Amino acid sequence: MRKRYLSTIAMVGAAAFALTACSSGSDDGSDDASSGDDSGSSGDVITVGFAQTGSESGWRSANTESMQTAFSEENGFDLVFNAADNDPAAQISAVRNFINQGVDAIVLAPIVEDGWDDVLAEAADAGIPVVLEDRTVSASDDLYESWVGLDFYTEGLKAGEWAAEQFGDTPTKMVVLEGTTGSAPANDRADGFNDAIAGTAIETIDSQTGDFTRDGGKSVMEGYIANYGIDGIDLLYAHNDDMGLGAIEAIEAAGGVPGEDITIITIDAVRDGMQALVDGKINYIVECNPLLGDLVSQVVKDVLAGNAVEKEIYVEDLTFTQEEAAEVIDSRLY
Ligand code: GZL
């Protein structure tokens, strides 16, 4: 199925259009999200249970802020928020608690892809719609109304294509810092990158998870340096900025020069990552837009109003070289 991407501008437009399209059109012109009239209820507050992964990275903080801003009281919501500290079992329990509380809708950013079939079926049996944001699940798409997020495979592909351009036929020893084991971004970013470097002289000499955290990236990179030496590593591919930033600390502590002794590619484009890119410590970043709140909140209102919603809504990502980052860093929204 052809993927339809929303750019940041289109995202705002789509949310605004949907607001207009499904608002009750109250006479006094106050038919914005805050009126609640477009929720299909009688203007009652919509109680939403939001099961967030945790607070593992700068990206997650930006995503949580975007969601909490969009699902605000003034926008007609009562948000029940849970952050599961990157613990899949705790996140499943949080969703089960939302069901028992009888929320109007559940929004889920699933830590890992597997293990969701039973609790999503329980939500369906309880008549509580589920909307996924950010990551995806392996469960049947009959068990959720819509997914709003990013194309992780293409993010990995873009990162790998840049690596192939830089290193192509040059024998290159690469280490990888993987995201959370079993998560959609870790799985898909690996697949995309590996497809892009197929046939090149880039060799993956080691690949371990840093769990998307800065500390995780630092400790795994310390192990890589102990095993291979700075001189034994040409390229680092980190599935997110935070692990890349932790690796930079490890490289510098070992007397290496990140971005020169070891070329570094990361994904997210959060503020600290973009600054490291401008500073020459990272060489290339593929964006992963965390600002999904407005779009997700509108999807929830559409679902509750009985409006048709797309099963998959992709948000477009950009890419940045060091020069491009210097041009845009001051205007970035996160
Ligand atoms: C991607 C998101 C990932 C980010 C990490 O959409 O799920 O999780 O790349 C975050 O920074 O922890």
Which atom of ligand 1 lies closest to the CA of 241?
A: 11
Distance 93 CA to ligand 1 centre (A): 21
Which atom of ligand 1 lies closest to the CA of 184?
A: 7
Average pLDDT over residues 104-126: 98
**Other Cβ atoms within 10 Å of 138 Cβ, number:** 14
Residue with CA at minimum distance from ligand 1 atom 11: 59
Global pTM reads 0.90
Domains of the chain: 3-151+290-317 (3.40.50.2300), 152-287 (3.40.50.2300)
Confidence of residue 6 (pLDDT cuts 50, 70, 90): confident
Residue at token pair 């697949």: 191
Distance 30 CA to ligand 1 centre (A): 36
- What residues are in contact with ligand 1 under a 6 Å CB criterion? 56-57, 59-60, 134-135, 150, 185, 212, 240, 242, 267-268, 288
Indicate the top mutation candidate among 52, 55, 59 to test ligand 1's pocket, ranked by most ligand atoms within 8 A of CB.
59
Indicate the top mutation candidate among 57, 295, 315 to test ligand 1's pocket, ranked by most ligand atoms within 8 A of CB.
57
pLDDT score recorded for residue 168:
77
Burial class of residue 311, CB neighbours in 10 A (0-12, 13-18, 19+): exposed
Facing residues of 175 across strands?
206, 236
Strands (E), 73-188: 77-83, 105-108, 130-134, 146-149, 172-178
50, 71 contact by CB (below 8 A): yes
List pLDDT tens digits, range 47-92: 999 999 999 999 999 999 999 999 999 999 999 999 999 999 999 9
